A and B are shown apart, each in its own frame.
Chain A
Amino acid sequence: AQRVTQPEKLLSVFKGAPVELKCNYSYSGSPELFWYVQYSRQRLQLLLRHISRESIKGFTADLNKGETSFHLKKPFAQEEDSAMYYCALLNAGGTSYGKLTFGQGTILTVHP
């Protein structure tokens, strides 16, 4: 069964500091991984997905199949980055194809 783990429920950093939100996954197939962000009382928004290899709002994430990780990083955090961040894994095959499994979420707070 697929599983996504975000070990940190809360993460606090100061503005300008580097930030890393951890995500580990368990999946037997070839993983499709995403990071979604939810600002206070707003809808979930796609931040990035690994196949796009983009940098959005200064965030990057690299898929490490050896460590089964997809950590989200930003070198210099900004106050507007404060939000809930979800790592998600897409089941792209089998009987549950299309199923997006979310991690527990990490609340990032960036202090001024």
Chain B
Amino acid sequence: DTAVSQTPKYLVTQMGNDKSIKCEQNLGHDTMYWYKQDSKKFLKIMFSYNNKELIINETVPNRFSPKSPDKAHLNLHINSLELGDSAVYFCASSQKMGEGRETDTQYFGPGTRLTVL
């Protein structure tokens, strides 16, 4: 019954590897997001998708590529992992986006703690 789920919860990998994080929401929302929470707990948006269309791309390196196979899923693939990519990645979803109403409220997944060695 989890609203926004992410897998895996923890991911430990070596520098240079390629990895993916999956996100699924069962809320019927149109919009999904990826956020990065760094070691200082600072949260910053990376991407947003609305109905499988990329809307926001916040100066994220090309090594990060989101993929949205359908409205309920937004996966994050990371190529050539670097030490600085170590962080907690949060997926979120909202019913709509940018309308300034209750439907904008974003609901977050549990996070994926990525550690790059």
**Residues in A lying within 8 Å of B, measured CB to CB:** 30, 32, 34, 36, 42-46, 49, 51-52, 84, 86, 90-93, 96-102, 104-105, 107
Contact = CB atoms under 8 A, between A and B. Distances in A.
Contact of A102 (B40, B42, B109, B111): B42
Tell me which of B43, B45, B92, B94 has the highest count of chain A C-beta atoms within 10 A of its own C-beta: B43
B100 A32 contact: yes
A51 B102 contact: yes
B97 A97 contact: yes
B105 interface: yes
A52 B104 CA distance: 12
A43 B44 CA distance: 15
Interface residues of B, number: 31
A55 B113 CA distance: 32
B99 interface: yes
B98 interface: yes
B107 interface: yes
B56 A99 contact: yes
Interface in B26-75: 31, 33, 40-45, 48, 50, 55-56, 58
